[in-house]
Structure 1
């Protein structure tokens, strides 16, 4: 099955569309990457989204407008991916949507909301769409995240030692081979917030870690940030920009520092929380993906803090670091289309595995393939 996975993370800068051929060979799921295209949100939509995110209050009319405009943006990305990557032969779209709220109270998730109405995608592409992946796991008592953990478990099975998959987006998450999975902390969320604050909105992020590289770590600020209670919670646990947002940064005492020193401190904060999480699961290898891997200062800190652990990117294993999450949701969409669970309760804390998402029929109605007798136990990436 040729599947297009759509993803926009907590940095909400673009819609990534990755296409893959996926097929089952006995108990093995094979994935052949066909490429990725990234379509930036147009400026007005990105600004409207940034204005609506926590801790802001927002009217339901604006939620409706965002749901529609994000759905249209995802639809345009899917059309482009089908044309440029699939030769117009796509069979299924799997859309993560745009997370706008993750309702967390202590160690429990009560709800989660991703916008991007899938009807726009189905109408534009003519293809069936699997969307709204997270809600079913939450309804089953899970955290609803990190949903890529099942894909990571299948993908890393058989590697020696204790390999862990790390994704550094707006929020960073980690998956260990025993099924332990959790959000490690802010990832790039606070870095991006600081870059925007200090530049008056001119900069969306600290490109190549340039500002951090010119700064000095402010130890008192770092110590205050590391005292955040979230880091002491036991997994499974998830977080988001409901906690790690610009207001959080302003309340930390960073206002008295330069942009460079603030970014240097926040970059080390992300590296410290990632390294602490990797050590907590006994990682012998860290395979990183996500936008944070493009920050050389951050990656250098992580390697320095894990001197006896191999730190590499997912590119070395055949999945482009920038596209791994989009490919992961293509896999989850494929599993849903075949009636197979997309979660591992060890990772999310749910009561049971769940078939994820809701399906919007395509132009020719809905013809799902027959369900196989059992789900895959490993994932291989074909050249």
Structure 2
């Protein structure tokens, strides 16, 4: 089955559309990557989304408008991916949507909201769409995240030692070999917030770690940031920009006097490296397979390497899964599993009572024609290189 996976992370800078050929062969799920296209949110939509996210207030009218506009943007990305990567022969779209709120209270997740109405994707592509992946796991008592953990477990199974998968997105998360998975805390979210704040919106992130490279870590600020109670919570646990947002940064800076922008960004980068390294150290890893936008920040990667001197840090690209496309491919896998009637969660990873078949399905132009249910779930994920002429 040829599937397009759509993903926009907590940095909400672009929509990634990854296409893959997926098939079940014995106990293996075989994934052949076909490529990735990315579509930037237009400036108006990005600003509207930023204005509606916590800690800002919003209205139901604005939520409705965003659901439609994000759905249309995801639809455009899917159409482009189908044409450029699939020769118009995609069979299914799996859309994560744009996370706008994750309702967490006292360690329990009660709800989650991903906008991007899938009907627009189905209408534009003519294909069935699997969307709203997270709520079913939450209904089963889970955190609804990190959902990529099942893909990590299947992919890294059989690899020597104790490989840990680490994603450095707006929020960082990891998956350990025993199925333990959780959000470690702010990945790039606070770094991005500081870059926007100090540049008056001119910068959306610290490109190449340039700001952090010119700054000096401020120990008083770092100590204050490390006192955040979230870091001490046991797994499974999840978080988001409901906690780590610009208002959080303002509160952390209060009363510390003037700090140079570069020093603040350097300190926030050190925070991410420290909290991620502490989380990795707590799961007994032999190597770390890293992906996500944070891998493009050399200062962050150098700080992380320094804090994990006895562990090999390898980019997922080295193992055949492009770092910047990994999450989009992961949701292509989750959509494929749903279409085949297979669970797409690992209960230990999310804390759910049981694994669940995820998502809701919007029929395509020709109605809903799903493949026969698979007899058993795969036990490993195998990556294959595309053959010429596909």
TM bucket normalised to smaller: over 0.9
CA spacing shift, 1:153–1:50, aligned 2, 3 Å: same
* Equivalent in 335, 356, 359 of residue 357 of structure 1: 359
CA RMSD of aligned residues (A): 0.6
What secondary structure, in the 3-state scheme, does the structure 2 residue paired with 1:277 have?
helix
- Report the Cα distance in structure 1 between the residues aligned to 2:209 and 2:326, rounded to whole angstroms: 22
- The structural deviation recorded for 1:150 is 0.4
Question: Number of matched residues?
Answer: 383
Equivalent residue, structure 1, for 2:349: 347
**Aligned position for 2:164:** 164
Mind listing any 5+ residue stretches in structure 1 that lack a counterpart?
none
Please list, as runs of the form range in 1=range in 2, the aligned pairs for 1:177-196 lying within 5 A after superposition.
177-196=177-196
SS in 1 for 2:252: coil
Report the 3-state secondary structure (helix = DSSP H, G, I; strand = E; otherwise coil) of the residue aligned with 1:73. helix
**Structure 1 residue 255: Cα displacement:** 6.5
Q: Distance in 2 between matches of 1:131 and 1:151?
A: 17
Report SS of the residue matched to 1:184: strand
- State the 1:372 CA deviation: 1.5
Partner SS for 2:109: strand
Report what 1:306 is aligned to: 308
| Counterpart for residue 324 of structure 1 | 326
Matches of 1:373 and 1:3, distance apart in 2: 20
d(CA) in 2 for partners of 1:222 and 1:118?
A: 41
Residue 155 of structure 1: aligned partner: 155
**Where does residue 263 of structure 2 map in the other structure?**
261
Separation of aligned partners in 1, 2:376 and 2:187: 36
Distance 1:34 1:255, change over 3 A: farther
Tell me the distance in 1 between the aligned counterparts of 2:136 and 2:374.
21
Residue in 1 that maps onto 2:143? 143
**1:143 & 1:373 partners in 2: Cα distance?**
27
Quote the Cα distance in structure 2 between the aligned partners of 1:125 and 1:194: 38
Equivalent position of 2:388 in the other structure: none
What's the TM-score, normalizing by structure 1?
A: 0.99
SS in 1 for 2:88: coil
**Structure 1 CA distance for aligned equivalents of residues 92 and 303 of structure 2:** 40
Which structure 2 segments of 5+ residues have no match?
A: 386-390
Which of structure 1's runs of 4+ aligned residues deviate more than 2 A?
Answer: none
- Would the alpha carbon gap of residues 227 and 370 (structure 1) be closer, same or farther in structure 2, given more than 3 Å must change? same
User: Separation in 2 of the partners of 1:282 and 1:220?
Assistant: 30
Q: Deviations over 1:160-181 (max 9, x none)?
A: 1110000111000000010000
* CA offsets 1:145-193 (integer angstroms, 9 cap, x no match): 0000000000000011110000111000000010000000100000000
Partner Cα separation in structure 2 for residue 359 and residue 256 of structure 1: 52
Shift of 1:256: 2.2
Query: How many angstroms apart in 1 are the aligned matches of 2:281 and 2:158?
Result: 20
Q: Over residues 285-327 of structure 1, what are the superposed CA-to-partner deviations in whole Å (9 max), with x where a residue is unaligned?
A: 1001010000010011111100000001100000100000000
Instruction: Give 1:190-339 correspondences, 5 Å limit.
Output: 190-253=190-253, 256-339=258-341
Cα deviation code 1:71-110 (max 9, x no counterpart):
0000000000000000100000000000000000021000
Residue 117 (structure 1) shift: 0.1
> Using the alignment, how far apart are the partners of 2:132 and 2:351 within structure 1?
19
**Structure 1 equivalent of residue 34 of structure 2:** 34
